[in-house]
Amino acid sequence: MKHFTQFESNTLAQELIDKALYFKNAPLAADAKGKGKRLGLIFLNPSLRTRVSTQIAASNLGIESIVLNMDKDGWALEMQEGAIMNKMTVEHIKDAAAVLGSYFDVLAIRAFPSLSNKKEDSDDFTINQFIKYANLPVVSLESAIRHPLQSLADMVTIKENLSENTKPKVVLTWAPHIKAIPHAVANSFAEWTLGCNYDLTITHPEGYELDERFTAGATIEHNQAKALEDADFVYVKNWSAFQSYGKIIHVDEPWLLTEEKLKRSPEAKVMHCLPVRRNLELSDEILDGSRSLVQQQAKNRIFAAQAVLDKIIS
Ligand code: CP
């Protein structure tokens, strides 16, 4: 594994899940392994969990991490090849990524989509420009179309909560939001859930179909009540439209997940990557109740990142 930007195989996924669980029991078991190594955490967008959990993961392995909030502290980057830089951008990705590549052993990048240029976003243009010019291993801290560290932590959390049913019914349900939100978490969750051979049902209002690259093999069910029946895990997430790219489509029906809606799935555990807009995306009663796995997911972000960094520096 040179880079960590997407799901590669079930074999690798299971290895990383098991390693994350190992580190959860023994966080400092390899605390000298990364001695002398440096990780650059480059944020083009805000973060709470990803930033802190990845720094803790690096520290647990003895790796020094340096955070650069490019959105606040860095120069405005030009991403386009051959650009005449006579507008607002100050430094070309070619130069910046090459410099960062010479400072670090591993580079980790957060780069959200524009939600306006579908082709560039779908090609994961920004993170691929870093990969092209940095010439060192790159870890995605959430790109335009994927959030693999979140998904790995989600798979760890599902494994921890599996009962004797080794093929649980997993449901990804769309939730309301006031802003146009990226598809990355939903895409990655579908990619990893299907890749790990779980049974996935995706439910959303008409018009919110995700990119089929990520959902092939899932059951698409527009009736939320039907989708939720007998669910073992319910992952709640908003995303904007993919076909009408980056748009919010008005929805009349109430899509907020409540206890009432889970009556026919009494065992269901509820997941969300956070941050969550309470009582818009997900109700207080669920977030604060016994079904909620959201804090466990957030904690597992440390050990997912630790498993990935351990593999990359090995
Ligand atoms: N889930 C997640 O990636 O959280 P942050 O955006 O706070 O990093």
pLDDT value for 287: 97
User: 140, 274, 296: which to mutate for ligand 1, most atoms within 8 A of CB?
Assistant: 274
Of 139, 152, 142, 158, nearest to 12 by C-alpha is 152
Give the residue-averaged pLDDT of 287-310: 98
Which domains are present in the chain?
Answer: 10-146+301-313 (3.40.50.1370), 162-292 (3.40.50.1370)
- Which atom of ligand 1 is nearest to 45's Cα? 6
Of 213, 63, 196, nearest to 144 by C-alpha is 213
pLDDT value for 165: 66
pLDDT tens digit sequence for 114-141: 999 999 999 999 999 999 999 999 999 9
With a 6 Å cutoff on the Cβ, whether 292 touches ligand 1 is no
Centre of ligand 1 from the C-alpha of residue 243, in Å: 25
Look at ligand 1, atom 7, and give the residue with the nearest C-alpha: 48
Residue 184: pLDDT over 90: yes
With a 6 Å cutoff on the Cβ, whether 273 touches ligand 1 is yes
Question: Helix or strand or coil: residue 118?
Answer: helix
Q: Which residue bears the tokens 């990557």?
A: 273
Q: Which two tokens stand for residue 145?
A: 């179309």
- Residue type at 111 in one-letter notation: A
Residue 113: pLDDT over 70: yes
Q: Looking at per-residue confidence, does 202 or 71 come out higher?
A: 202
User: 273, 281, 282: which to mutate for ligand 1, most atoms within 8 A of CB?
Assistant: 273
Give the residue-averaged pLDDT of 75-100: 95
Residue 71: pLDDT over 90: no
What pTM does this model have? Answer: 0.97
Backbone angles phi, psi at 79, to 5 degrees: -100, -20
Residue 164: pLDDT over 80: no
Tell me the C-alpha distance between 151 and 148, whole Å.
Answer: 5
Q: How confident is the model at residue 72 (pLDDT cuts 50, 70, 90)?
A: confident
Give the residue-averaged pLDDT of 273-292: 97
Residue 77: pLDDT over 80: yes
Tell me the C-alpha distance between 160 and 166, whole Å.
Answer: 11
Mean pLDDT across the chain, nearest whole number?
A: 96
Look at ligand 1, atom 4, and give the residue with the nearest C-alpha: 49
Burial of 78 (0-12, 13-18, 19+ CB in 10 A): buried
pLDDT tens digit sequence for 22-62: 999 999 999 999 999 999 999 999 999 999 999 999 999 99
Look at ligand 1, atom 1, and give the residue with the nearest C-alpha: 273
pLDDT value for 262: 96
Give the residue-averaged pLDDT of 162-176: 90
Task: Decide: 225 and 268 in contact? Cβ < 8 Å.
Answer: no
Residue 166: pLDDT over 80: no
Percent of the chain with pLDDT over 90: 96
